[in-house]
Structure 1
């Protein structure tokens, strides 16, 4: 015990580690890749009304345009993570980013909803391949304190991309007009993507395949892909009751088959897709559940806020962007100060952050239902400060906590499972809540009531995440490296 305390004290007393030049370059590439691929989805939220009018898109088209990206993103994550673990990460990163960037041109020039849907699916697949390499790369390159800082910066960059998307999209549409503006939101990917491609080719580490884990577990990959489809597809394209039951039954069967195959594959000397350490780790599972709730509720809340501000209150895209801007500012500031909060409150930082987000959603819905319309944008902007600060404080803390329990040899897959879980949550919440909002307003309900209903659901999801984020007594984990 005294030795352990001495080690902990020495660790606390050690000077703050700094990234060397090569490490800073790798971190820049990963942060740029994450920002480029994650900004794409959030910037589109503001452009949805303009896109809908321009392409004469139906609600089903809009659900596929928005949630189809998450579907393809989620499908690509675990295969991409496994391939990176086995074959090396650099060229999968480069090829995924090249696909994402080039298909952005197709999205920007689409004249039919079906073409845009197909392009969004390809963009999502490319983005999933990119992001599955980034967490593994950061875990490969950095250790200890530097790894936690690098993962935290990646998580915060993703959060800022989501928060900055609506203001950026609103500004572009305000300057260029609705018809050209929504197309330019896709073209924003080109300069970011091309610059990141050049940096990736020059600075990402050369592939170093793990020879001792040379098996890909093909059947495991196929089962995970089928399970992901069974979980996400009904929310992207809602079926009837018989369809819901069919998808639920298929998901249960696939989950059972995957669990059996992973145990069987390990017993026969193979290296299963899902590392046994992940399935036995309660902190990894609970942290992933918290991340799912945070990601899904925040993305859905951002989308319905944009719809309410433009369709319900009649704000211009720029006006809606200005209401959302405080969230980005607060998130950036809070994330920069998060380490101080963690020093004071430890893992409870995650719980407090989720509580703040739940309060922001709840209060936003109640105010939208009863506050006078002239004051409502200002009040909602103030609440965006609370929501952004709460997310900024807890996001990087939770991700670092989750991935701390992942073994080094499964770095790519563990990060991919975390992100895939978030994407499933995003597909479910975005599709379900946008559908609830649209159905309510097209069947005689008011925009205020529709927004109240959806924000109450977001607050409930965030409240459930408070329970999964509560610190639990666990044994000290063995360092993975």
Structure 2
């Protein structure tokens, strides 16, 4: 009997009371920390005016959160494995909540940049414990459902951020509104802290050593910075070539160090087995391109609607609202679609997202200003549905093909890769938009340029998804062939052994 048949033949498992409480804490923690960035996007124009922030400051304020978030995931998960997860969850959430107060009261861009980096580190520490806790507490079908709910919560937090931010800014005005978007984290954070202290399982420290691979972490961080900096401070052709050479050297150094560290008996930051699994590696590349392009496109759209079209924050939020609604509905229906169309759902969803980005840029460049908000809202509806269909679905496929020896870290590696991709994409795309408008180019032309780049990145995700599906099919065919060969051998050997016994 196959695993799929075994699951469908038995009644659907239900969460017990303790399990529901743990799931509530994890979902609340995920929503609190993941809502932050998408809410902030709506506040960027108001924040820029209030703090007199330069384009480079804005890029660090937005991208620094994702950078610190991604880099905190793996060491946070390793520390939780060894020391127990509960108090690392509480510590990370307390840091995130406290620094939200600092962000809300910042009077200079540098203070807000530092606060955003600390917020990202706290959010990464929280989310690494949530992934581990869900894997520790639940098994089988319940684990899959719990991880799926966590993924859907992240998608909804991303989609609901602009409408929530717009409502806050409309109610409080630009000067206080952007500060209140940070203060939103405080009541959510405090409530989740109380729930976590009461309901998360008691920590069970292990005698193992916390193997953090600090060299690997430093190399990943340096590589990300080298990819980001040319977009924050454009270096010219000579400097660009130097950054490209540096990125290649760091990438090669990271690959060498990971192999060396694994051979020495350590636990490398990126387990070598993950890079040898083509479905996992290509699925992760798909997730990186999707997540980075989506976050960057959302930020650029918000700036264009407010700066280019002169909409209020609430008006900009209403344009983005159809995306939130469509994403929520599509996420709820995704598994039914997957049952009928399989992995093609991921590729089709990503292709739909890429087309929406490209068409949105063209429409913004050509359509009359009066009709533009309505046209962009309609495109957001299609784009949200596309992402809702493929986001959690792709994650499930990626983790399904994680090698057994790296299953424990595969989810954290996937999330780290997405966050690092977001840091680079947000830096690059916001830089394209801000510098083209600052250099005298029109907002429409700047939005078109940024949208084309987003569409190209999303197009790369489509290609990665196609190849991931092919690699997965080859892998599954190979496993089926090995199973059939084993059964044939047993059938052939059985009668032979019987005849030998008779003789």
Normalised by the length of structure 1, the TM-score is: 0.93
Q: Do the aligned residues in 2 keep the contact of 1:82 with 1:273 (CA within 8 Å)? A: no
Which residue number in structure 2 is paired with residue 277 of structure 1? 273
- Stretch moving more, 114-123 or 220-229: 220-229
Quick one: structure 1 residues 264 and 432, their matched pair in 2 at CA, closer, same or farther if it must change by over 3 Å?
A: closer
In the alignment, structure 1 residue 125 sits paired with structure 2 residue 130: no
- Confirm or deny: 8 A CA contact 1:236 1:427 kept in the other structure: no
The question of whether the paired residues in 1 share the 8 Å contact of 2:224 and 2:424 is answered with no
- In 2, the alpha carbon distance for the partners of 1:403 and 1:330 equals 25
> Which one of the candidate residues 134, 137, 145 is aligned to 1:138?
134
CA shift for structure 1 position 101:
0.4
Post-superposition shift, 1:38?
1.2
**Structure 1, residues 102-129: CA drift from partner, whole Å, max 9, x if none?**
0111110111111111111111111111
CA distances 1:13-39 after superposition (whole Å, capped 9, x unpaired): 332222222222222111111111111
Mapped partners of 1:239, 1:94: distance in 2: 41
Partner SS, residue 195 of structure 1: helix
Rounded to whole Å, the distance in 1 between the matches of 2:424 and 2:162 is 20
Q: Which runs of 5+ in 2 are unaligned?
A: 480-503
* Cα distance change on mapping 1:36 and 1:282 into 2, 3 Å: same
> What displacement does 1:235 show?
4.1
Q: 2:360 aligns with which of 357, 361, 364?
A: 364
C-alpha change, 1:202 and 1:445, in structure 2 (3 Å) is: same
Whole-angstrom distance in 2 between the partners of 1:239 and 1:82: 37
- How far the C-alpha of 1:147 sits from its partner, in A, is 2.0
- Pairing of 1:156-235 with structure 2 (within 5 A): 156-211=152-207, 214-235=210-231
Task: Specify which of 319, 330, 334 is matched with residue 330 of structure 2.
Answer: 334
Counterparts of residues 259-408 of structure 1 (less than 5 Å)? 259-406=255-402
1:475 aligns with 2:471: no
Shift of 1:229: 3.6
Give the secondary structure class of the aligned counterpart of 2:475: coil
Match of 2:37 in 1: 41
| Mapped contact 1:213–1:271 kept (Cα < 8 A) | no
Residues 1:361 and 1:228: Cα distance change in structure 2 (over 3 Å)? closer
Matches of 1:260 and 1:301, distance apart in 2: 34
What SS class does the counterpart of residue 474 from structure 1 fall into? helix
Q: Which has the larger radius of gyration?
A: 2
- Name the CA shift for 1:100/1:339 in 2 (closer, same or farther; >3 Å): same
Task: Quickly say closer, same or farther: Cα 1:259–1:124, change in 2 above 3 A.
Answer: same
- Matches of 2:411 and 2:76, distance apart in 1: 11
* SS at structure 2 position matched to 1:207: coil
Post-superposition CA distance 1:339-363 (Å, at most 9, x none): 1111111111111110111121122
Which whole-Å CA distance do the structure 1 matches of 2:399 and 2:209 have between them? Answer: 20
Asked whether the 8 Å contact 2:93–2:189 carries over to 1, the reply is yes
1:39 and 1:162 in contact (8 A); partners too: yes
Provide the C-alpha distance between the structure 2 equivalents of 1:128 and 1:8, rounded to a whole number of angstroms: 33
Determine if contact 1:82/1:412 at 8 Å carries over to the other structure: no
**Displacement of 1:190:** 0.2
Counterparts of 1:254 and 1:378 in 2: how far apart (Å)? 45
Shift in alpha-carbon separation, 1:28–1:226, aligned structure 2, 3 A: same
CA distance in 1, matches of 2:347, 2:76: 31
Q: How many residues align?
A: 474
- 1:69 maps to 65
Residue aligning to 1:423: 419
SS at match of 2:474: coil
Contact 2:94-2:193 within 8 A present in 1 as well: yes
Q: For residues 258 and 44 of structure 2, what CA distance do their matches in structure 1 show?
A: 41
Structure 1 range deviating more: 266-275 or 414-423: 266-275
Any stretches of 5+ residues in structure 1 without a counterpart? Answer: none
Tell me the alpha carbon deviations over residues 171-202 of structure 1, each in whole angstroms, 9 at most, x when there is no partner.
Answer: 10111111111110000000111111111122
| Deviates most, 278-287 or 262-271 | 262-271
Structure 1 residues 236, 409: CA separation in 2 closer, same or farther (over 3 Å shift)? farther
> Aligned-pair distance for 1:260?
2.7
Q: CA deviation at 1:333?
A: 0.8
Task: Say which is worse superposed, 38-47 or 427-436, in terms of deviation.
Answer: 427-436
TM-score (norm 2): 0.89
The more displaced of 57-66 and 180-189 is 57-66
Match of 2:75 in 1: 79
In structure 2, the CA distance between the partners of 1:114 and 1:267, relative to structure 1 (3 Å rule), is closer
Distance 1:240 1:99 in 2: 39
